[in-house]
Amino acid sequence: MMLLVGLGNPNPNNSNNRHNVGFLVIDAINQKFKLSKQKPKFKGLLTTGKINEQKVYAIKPLTFMNSSGICIKELIEYFKIDVKNVFVFHDDMDIDLGKIKAKFGGSSAGHNGIESIDKNIGKLYSRIRIGIGRPKDNSTGADHVLDNFSKDEKKSIDEVTNNIIESMSALISKDLDLFSSKINQK
């Protein structure tokens, strides 16, 4: 059993923000693998199904980014999901737009959503960091993540999302190195 988590903010005005790239990925996974209809549970929107014969749950926490860990903790305790089987998709300004880095454990690097998860379930889960790049103008990091993607940026994000979906078998088998290399080579 695996849990796929997409981080974002539930306000409809935030749907195309850079900070919501995790939600975009979960929506694409739900659609491609025909997971169940989203239901409000565990302070999030939950779906379930199978990917490559592996039972998966996918959730978009509705607790806002800075409290994402609350939702995840409730869900893994209820379904008795091993923390090592949790995969979190989130934005990262330190990675070029359209690239990803996947890793097991590590620090939050100042990402408030990841800090919340670490506080609630520990650090022994996998993170799929999706590059949104640094601000090109004088805007702050907070402004940058809460701004909408430009048309060109959205094309890059759609492409990386498609590459993530095409590489899900490597993720399901927990081969993070293969998963990352497949996506970044495309």
pLDDT digit string, tens, across residues 136-185: 877 777 888 888 999 999 999 999 999 999 999 999 999 999 898 888 87
Residue length, the chain? 186
**Do residues 160 and 100 lie in contact, with contact meaning Cβ atoms separated by under 8 Å?**
yes
List residues bridging with 56 in a β-sheet: 2, 49
List residues bridging with 39 in a β-sheet: 46
Domain boundaries, given as residue ranges, for the chain: 2-185
DSSP code for 150: P
pLDDT digit string, tens, across residues 131-144: 999 888 777 778 88
HSE-CB for 77 with a 13 A CA cutoff: 9
Q: Which residues are known to be catalytic?
A: 19
Is 2-185 a CATH 3.30.2270.10 domain?
no
HSE-CB for 51 with a 13 A CA cutoff: 28
pLDDT given at position 23 = 97
**Do residues 58 and 45 lie in contact, with contact meaning Cβ atoms separated by under 8 Å?**
no
Closest-CA residue to 136 (of 146, 144, 124, 147): 144
Sort 160 into a burial class: Cβ within 10 Å, 0-12 / 13-18 / 19+.
buried
Q: What is the mean pLDDT of each run of 10 residues along the chain (186 residues)?
A: 96 89 97 96 96 96 94 97 97 93 91 95 96 83 86 94 94 91 79
Sort 11 into a burial class: Cβ within 10 Å, 0-12 / 13-18 / 19+.
exposed
